[in-house]
Amino acid sequence: MSAAPAWLSVRRGDAPLIVSLPHTGTDIPADIEARLVSPWLGRRDADWWVDRLYGFAAGLGATIVRTAISRTVIDVNRDPTGASLYPGAATTELCPTTDFDGAPLCRPGEAPGADEIADRRQLWFDPYHRALDAEIARLAARHGSVALYDAHSIRSRIPRLFDGELPHFNIGTNDGASCDAALVAAVERACDASPFSRVTNGRFKGGYITRRCGAPGQGVHAIQMELACRGYMDEPDGPPAEGAWPPPWDPGRAAPMTGCLSTVLRACLTALAQIKDTPRR
């Protein structure tokens, strides 16, 4: 196997658990950054500090797959055909032209065309998904079943994308199609035992990664966790201002959420073992 490109990190573990980090990257090639309205705006909607929140996962034996490339360059959690994951709702594209609040990301006339989007997909999107597929195959061959946990975060209030304030935990399973119900129930119990609020298949039902990879009948259980940022860092009331976002990583502020997430991933592993040992009828 050829070495992974520098922007793609695959930290292998032996447990039947993969933690996918598709939106924690902030790298933007210079030629693309020069065409943005603002380099800060191009990075503002990253899933800030989520890789640090799950820093304990390797100690559980999880495999960690992460791209360092910013979602503004290409979003590896979008359908590459351009089909909306949430028809009728505001969202962002495979190669976003607006941020979450609807502000333009690209200077006038500088949005990527079809050929450039195809090139970006070949460079960054396809290798990420090949890495996920390779790790799923490796661990499924060893364990028979595997859980793919797609880790995200988002600001708690974004009126363009959803009404009101998000719960702290937003679990997505494509309305139950991507993951065995017993594993979902185990994650829900872990969340509900915490001081944080929770919803399942609310505004966020799982993105392209969850929907593409989840095949519970074949032993692949994909679940997305979208965290409201206020659960682990301080948020402004409105859209954040340049220079004030993101707040610096504060492990003490994040500790309660980190502890809950450790319980969540342990619950995934326990439930997966039980699912595997349950005879199918």
Q: For each of the domains in the chain, give its residue range(s) and CATH number, in order of start.
A: 8-277 (3.40.630.40)
Q: Quick one: pLDDT at residue 278?
A: 60
Q: What is the pLDDT of residue 281?
A: 37
What pLDDT shows up at residue 280? 46
State how far the Cα of 214 lies from the Cα of 172, in Å rounded to an integer. 11
**Local structure of 106: helix, strand or coil:** strand
CA 92 to CA 77: how far, in whole Å?
A: 10
Residues of the chain whose pLDDT is less than 70? 1-2, 277-281
pTM reported for the whole predicted model: 0.96
User: What pLDDT does residue 237 have?
Assistant: 85
Instruction: Express as a percent the part of the chain with pLDDT over 90.
Output: 93
Chain Cα centroid distance, residue 71: 11
Supply the pLDDT for residue 277: 64
